[in-house]
Amino acid sequence: MDPCFETATRLARAIRNGRLSAREATEAHLERIARLNGPINALVVVDRDGALKAARAADRVRAKKGAKLGPLHGVPITIKEAFDVAGLATTSSHPPLKDNIASADASLVARLRAAGAVILGKTNVPELCADFQTESPLFGITRNAWDERRTAGGSTGGGAAAVAARLSPLELGSDIGGSVRNPAHYNGIFSLKPTEWRVPSRGHVPDLPGVTRTVRYMGVFGPLARSVEDLETALRIVAGPDGNEAEAAPVPIGPAPALAAKGLRIAVLDSNPLVRVSSDTAAVIEATARLLAKAGAKVKHAAPEGLDWQQSWDDWSDLFQYLVRALQPLGERERFMAKIGSPDPSVRSVARAARLDMAEFFAVLDRRDRTIRACETFLDGYDAWLMPVMPDAAFIRQKPSVPLMIDGVAHPYFFAGTSYNYLANFTGQPSIVLPCGFSREGLPIGLQLVGKRWGEANLLGVAKALERLLPPCPVPPSYAA
């Protein structure tokens, strides 16, 4: 077996059964990283010595009679650079943090280590994880493994490129506006955005070290992988409160049901009023809906009654801006206040939030509650909601100041790039991305399944049923060997 082309859970089984050693799996990935990482710049920190030391230790434990092995025992993985990994730099690509060395693991990193994972290194992010392309002022550009001219997505762009190129079987990422989902879509892999507050945030930047924590809503943390089974394995490892955050609730995940496509109730969203998807994306949505219907699912094109897409996008964006600007000095915020009339919805949102109006902040939260109720009530009638991840396949890298073109129509960059991902962040609902098809140019297109809050177990069951109808996780042609 070639360890680099196995999923994380298959590697774990091979190591547990003695068909492969942790050292062999780790060395194979390190060799592949050394050979293939350069053109895409997915990993920006490679901890060769630490990984080999951990792999040797894993093999010693495996050799002991009766040893208890974790679900990822000996499996090499990567970590988004924004998470603390003890002894390695955590900068979140923010130049003032270029010399910051983590003294301890982030909560989720510690849990993955305790499950037996071997950390190969850390993957690239845009500055403070604030873009859906990955261009770092400290580490440079991460390129798409399918076409190096194109974006790998962001902010977990380095991690998605690493998993797609078979440099890593599993990545730990974060998502407040699509940051584990759009890179999975752009790179032809799987990802899971859990329910809000399902997993703790301690040790993740952009909440800067030693500074008041402000990112208390919508930001979540989850895996990127090459199978739904891997997503489930990783979620069960990282989920649950760590005693550091009052918001994190001890809600059990429960067993994922064994579901077949037959009888599933699937709502389908073709496009929303904010940004119409490309014809390539529309074709993949329709083909996937037909695939489910042919397998016996009850498929209906539907959306929550009365959902105001523009208002909910504005509210998501405003809440995000309140969080990231809460500690910003008045003088810095005043520069944005006069832009309230901008034609760009993102700029208008910055101008609104720059006032830090507490009455309006609570009004946003109030409208958020109503949007959550509308989407939860809608999903009472369905097992999952299938929708686009992004309006189109990966685009050729561009400046954020340039409009994003979708089938020849120009849209404000940030608005277009969040027009489908924002909703599950705003409602806190879980979402799973699966690679479902390709554009006419041969670029992968993913779709997301959204489920009810705290309903990851059922959503994983639905995702597995869809996964069985789809071809295996695709390999970028340049990384097929």
Q: What is the pLDDT of residues 347-387, one digit of tens each?
A: 999 999 999 999 999 999 999 999 999 999 999 999 999 99
Res. 206 pLDDT band, cuts 50 70 90: confident
Helix (H, G, I), strand (E, B) or coil at 409: strand
Reply yes or no on whether 122 is catalytic: no
- The pLDDT of residue 111 is 98
- The pLDDT of residue 94 is 97
| Secondary element (H or E) of residue 301 | strand 298-301
Distance CA 224, CA 183 (A): 9
For the cut 90, the answer to whether the pLDDT of residue 262 exceeds it is yes
| 377-416 pLDDT, tens digit each | 999 999 999 999 999 999 999 999 999 999 999 999 999 9
Res. 449 pLDDT band, cuts 50 70 90: very high
- The pLDDT of residue 185 is 98
| 12-29 pLDDT, tens digit each | 999 999 999 999 999 999
All structural domains of the chain, each given as residue ranges with its CATH number in brackets, are 3-259+451-479 (3.90.1300.10)
Lowest mean pLDDT among 203-217, 254-268, 285-299, 388-402: 203-217
Distance CA 162, CA 143 (A): 10
| 158-175 pLDDT, tens digit each | 999 999 999 999 999 999
Which residues share a beta bridge with 118? 76
One-character DSSP codes across 139-161: TEE-B-SS-TTBB--SSSHHHHH
- The pLDDT of residue 39 is 97
For the cut 90, the answer to whether the pLDDT of residue 299 exceeds it is yes
User: What 3 state SS string does 65-134 have?
Assistant: CCCCCCCCCCCEEEEECCECCCCCECCCCCHHHCCCECCCCCHHHHHHHHCCCEEEEEECCCHHHCCCCC
| 96-139 pLDDT, tens digit each | 999 999 999 999 999 999 999 999 999 999 999 999 999 999 99
Q: Which of 107, 136, 179, 191 is catalytic?
A: 179
Reply yes or no on whether 155 is catalytic: yes
For the cut 90, the answer to whether the pLDDT of residue 328 exceeds it is yes
Distance CA 230, CA 468 (A): 14
Q: Which of 21, 80, 452, 464 is catalytic?
A: 80
- For residues 391 and 416, is the Cβ–Cβ distance under 8 A? yes
Q: Which of 155, 168, 201, 349 is catalytic?
A: 155
